[in-house]
Structure 1
Amino acid sequence: MRLFSALSALLLAAATSLAFDPSAYENTHIQRTYELGGAATNVQTVYTVRALKVGPGGYELVLDSPEEGVQGGTDYWEVVQGGKVWDSLTVQSRSDGKKTVTIPLEPAPTGGPLTFTLSQVLVHHSHPLPASIGQDDEQFLMFENNQTMVESLYSTRKETIKYRSPSKKIISHSPAPEKYITVGANPSKKSGGTLTLGPYTSVPPTVALSRGGVLTRAPGVEVEPIRIHYPYEEPVKTIEKLVRLAEVSHWGDNLNVEDHIRLVNTGAHLKGQFSRIQYQMARFRPTFPAQIIRNIIYPLPAHSHSPYYYDIIGNISTSNFRPSHPTRGGPALLELRPRYPILGGWMDEFTVGWDMRLGDWLRSVKGHAAQKVLRVPFMTALPGVVVDEAELVITLPEGARDVNVTVPFPVDTIEHSTHKTYLDSIGRPRITIKKRRCVEKHEQDVYFQKVFTAGVATAVMFAAFALAKRLDVRISKAPQVAVVVG
């Protein structure tokens, strides 16, 4: 079976490379913008393309550079055209990572240009420099990417690249490529926190597809990396491990969600010893050291209730819960304050849990009352926070069978198992979904479609309850007996 799958992938890649025509399209203008941040970097690329032939076929869009491996490429991407997100775009290149996708563009009737946008998220492309700072020192990050130009299989008339610093300031940057720049023009321009490269003109294809469907560097194209040094006035938050446990209770009409979190400050490490006095004094200054994690705003789904928060020591009372509005709804907010400030290189492990009404997340399939569809949020997104390893474990009621799982994005593994407790007879179905390198965009719902039938233990319980109702277990007085003495 594995051999057949590998052979099918190879044949598909070969057919794609043979059918691909680099002269079918032309990029009239490409504009890429990098929003520099902490652990995550958001990238938006606007493509304006024009078909050069009748019936050009799909547009092959490049996601990664040939030099980038699976761990160094794009961690999230989506294509939007005319306000519509393209779904079910198939990766047409290598099977060991996202390389190119085919967009079924429909050329304009007049032969005019078409515009679409590629949104990407890069993970851990910035690191602290210097690596260690004092408790009150300013924090700086260095963004690094191994390719400056936008990768494309087609020629490009005009191309512009922008980098935006979150602090409106850029300390330094590496030299911009001068190739394809008009003679005498400046290849880069810095204005406040924005660095603009280009415009580059008459750029040939930077990559090519081999006969085996593998993305390769185009002949004559040299890779030039880019490095940008900028201040970052926020903590660099990374969740090394997130385990979300979700359990369905039909009896209580409840969906309980519990997150086990290992949070690490991956910013500049603390140089020297931590001073509690220095930390308390900083609270009275106009600017507090931004690289220190003091609190966490944890958004919960609408109408969440009964939240709890504890760490390995026990319950923590320094938290504030703001429930959803009773009529307007909206998310609930749980503000958490760790036991100690989390400085660079420090970590904290804690658990957050809450309950939700099951009726808001479970519905019956129309025309099939026994079939249910349950949706569960895969994770809770924190702004700018990267989750290195995420795991969703959902436990369904006993008797659920034929469970189909629908995940709106690729995941690493989906495992099915059985979880048995002291009240179960055959055990409850449990599904475990794992994914590495998650970002805010992965805060989406996972759907579980199942056929629900009452388990043996449930049937026995109902029978016992019915029998108990028919028994008279009241304590009554003994009947009096009259004794006649003759």
Structure 2
Amino acid sequence: MRFLHALPAALLAAAAAALAFDPSAYENTQVQRTYELGGAATSVQTVYTVRALKENPGDYELVLASPENDVAGGSDYWEVVQGRKVWESLTVQSRSDGQKTVTIPLDTTATGGPITFTLSQILVHQSYPLPASIGQDDEQFLMFESNATMVESLYSTKKETIKYRSPSKKIISHSPAPEKYVQVGGNASKKSGGTLTLGPYTSVPRTVSLSGAGSLVREPGFNMSAIRIHYPYEEPVKTIEKLTRLAEVSHWGDNLNVEDHIRLVNTGAHLKGQFSRIQYQMARFRPTFPAQIIRNIIYPLPPNSHSAYYYDVIGNISTSNFRPSHPTRGGPALLELRPRYPILGGWMDEFVVGWDMKLGDWLKSVKGHAEHKVLRVPFMTALPGVVVDEAELVITLPEGARNVNVTVPFPVDTIEQETHKTYLDSIGRPRITIKKRMCVEKHEQDVYVTYTYPFRAQFQKVFTVGIATATFFAALALAKRVDVRISKVPQQLQVVG
């Protein structure tokens, strides 16, 4: 008993969950997984058809990753969909080894009835260029690599199929597929154009189990082989190493200013040799331009954005085109950017994009409580297929805002609150900083900030400016009345002769 009391509470909870888990309560009648291979991001969809084998089987435990996977990288976005509805508020079990499982409350009123749901994931940086260096006009190839071939599950599976789809409709080569659970006379893999199909596999036992400590362990006797797929990629591999979004609220100006500081890197195949400007200009007149070169960027902005600007470390860049929202149909605004130089593999560019928006479109007052404000700010701007390694959102509220609360629609690394002082501030402005690693398109969601902004706070800046101006003129008037001369010049006596 002394030993049990000495155990951490989390370890006791994990052990209790492992003892309560019943791997024979469910069976996967069919599992279909599809990989959409890409550049920095790979989309994965897994369709589960599940059948309960017992009455009152309890919750279904869904495995998100393989025990061999690196927890620090890999997938950071997932969602479970049943029909057209996204499952909200699912319980995520963080295992002692860092791996995660998701508890899904399935509706199993009728034992034996099939239940279908879909797990959508986005894997980041699972592909790398091979060869690592190519010529300026050469074709680019990527290698997708994963530590797990088959779908990880805590339950047995009757039939399982895995597909890999190349974006260029072509697969150069792939590693051998496992053959243990393939039907007699069947093929373990089949390649057709840009699609590689593994299986179908039948009567697959569970691949992992829960240990007494609550961690995921490989099931004895089950060997998971790795998979490697070599395929062409005819687009630049864009990665934003650092994205810092600054959002500043102005009640007096009825304006929300947003400014993005971006460090963009082409993480595709590096350039072999020297860059040739002549060769680059000549390629513009050929039917196929080298796809691995970043020439321009289409940056979508929220609807009704205006006063957009774009500059880098040298200064303002005029090679851009801003397309505002349609006056009647609305829709997003577009900012077409063209860097000062083409960004080849291994090259980077740092620039700033900013714009203004009407505050009334993003800030609302609680009905019946005009002082209570609800502000929504987009966490980031998503670019198709682009992974953001480090994202940071900094929201600066007006001076006098109080009782600040933040609601984020997804897990983040840190949320910090501080006071920021700038010119003509008396007590400073509340500032919120939100940080998250490994962000993808799906993280383009709104962050909600609630705060109290009293009516008198609207005049705090006016009072500060008035007091500062009055103090300045009073000091100036006082300075004029002070005699700062070192000594007085004596008057000369006139002699009358």
Q: TM-score range by the shorter chain?
A: over 0.9
Give the aligned partner of residue 143 of structure 1. Answer: 144
After TM superposition, the score normalised by the length of structure 1 is 0.92
**Relative to 1, partners in 2 of residues 1:355 and 1:39: Cα closer, same or farther, differing over 3 Å?**
same
Once the two structures are overlaid, the 10-residue window that deviates more, 66-75 or 271-280, is 66-75
Once the two structures are overlaid, the 10-residue window that deviates more, 362-371 or 235-244, is 362-371
Q: What displacement does 1:11 show?
A: 2.9
The SS at the match of 1:71 is coil
1-side partners of 2:111 and 2:210: how far apart? 30
Give the aligned partner of residue 46 of structure 1. Answer: 47
Q: Alignment identity in percent?
A: 83
1:311-460 to 2 correspondences below 5 Å: 311-453=312-454, 458-459=459-460
After TM superposition, the score normalised by the length of structure 2 is 0.90
Counterpart contact for 2:32–2:48, Cα < 8 Å: yes
Counterpart contact for 2:99–2:215, Cα < 8 Å: no
Give the aligned partner of residue 484 of structure 1. Answer: none
Counterpart contact for 2:34–2:45, Cα < 8 Å: yes
Q: What displacement does 1:270 show?
A: 0.2
1-side partners of 2:344 and 2:273: how far apart? 12
Give the aligned partner of residue 22 of structure 1. Answer: 23
> 1:371-419: per-residue Cα shift (whole Å, max 9, x none)?
1110000000000000000000000011111111111111000011100
Q: What displacement does 1:457 show?
A: 8.6
Q: What displacement does 1:72 show?
A: 3.4
The SS at the match of 1:433 is strand
Counterpart contact for 2:371–2:455, Cα < 8 Å: no
2-side partners of 1:426 and 1:64: how far apart? 48
1:233-272 to 2 correspondences below 5 Å: 233-272=234-273
2-side partners of 1:441 and 1:460: how far apart? 39
Counterpart contact for 1:425–1:456, Cα < 8 Å: no
**Relative to 1, partners in 2 of residues 1:289 and 1:327: Cα closer, same or farther, differing over 3 Å?**
same
1:158-173 to 2 correspondences below 5 Å: 158-173=159-174
1:459-474 to 2 correspondences below 5 Å: 459=460, 461=462
The SS at the match of 2:103 is strand
From the CA coordinates, give the structure whose radius of gyration is larger: 2
Q: What displacement does 1:111 show?
A: 3.1
> 1:248-284: per-residue Cα shift (whole Å, max 9, x none)?
0001100000000000000000000000000000000
Give the aligned partner of residue 102 of structure 1. Answer: 103
**Relative to 1, partners in 2 of residues 1:208 and 1:64: Cα closer, same or farther, differing over 3 Å?**
same
Once the two structures are overlaid, the 10-residue window that deviates more, 24-33 or 94-103, is 94-103
Counterpart contact for 2:96–2:213, Cα < 8 Å: no
The SS at the match of 2:91 is coil
The SS at the match of 1:74 is strand
**Relative to 1, partners in 2 of residues 1:109 and 1:309: Cα closer, same or farther, differing over 3 Å?**
same
The SS at the match of 2:376 is strand
> What code does the residue aligned with 2:268 have?
G
Counterpart contact for 2:392–2:435, Cα < 8 Å: yes
> What code does the residue aligned with 1:213 have?
G
2-side partners of 1:260 and 1:10: how far apart? 42
Once the two structures are overlaid, the 10-residue window that deviates more, 444-453 or 190-199, is 444-453
**Relative to 1, partners in 2 of residues 1:459 and 1:391: Cα closer, same or farther, differing over 3 Å?**
closer
Give the aligned partner of residue 154 of structure 1. Answer: 155
Count of residues in correspondence between the two structures: 463
Q: What displacement does 1:458 show?
A: 2.8
> What code does the residue aligned with 1:73 have?
G
Give the aligned partner of residue 62 of structure 1. Answer: 63
Counterpart contact for 2:406–2:447, Cα < 8 Å: yes
The SS at the match of 2:92 is coil
> 1:258-312: per-residue Cα shift (whole Å, max 9, x none)?
0000000000000000000000000000000000000000000000000000000
**Relative to 1, partners in 2 of residues 1:70 and 1:429: Cα closer, same or farther, differing over 3 Å?**
same
Q: Which runs of no fewer than 5 residues in structure 2 stay unpaired? A: 470-497
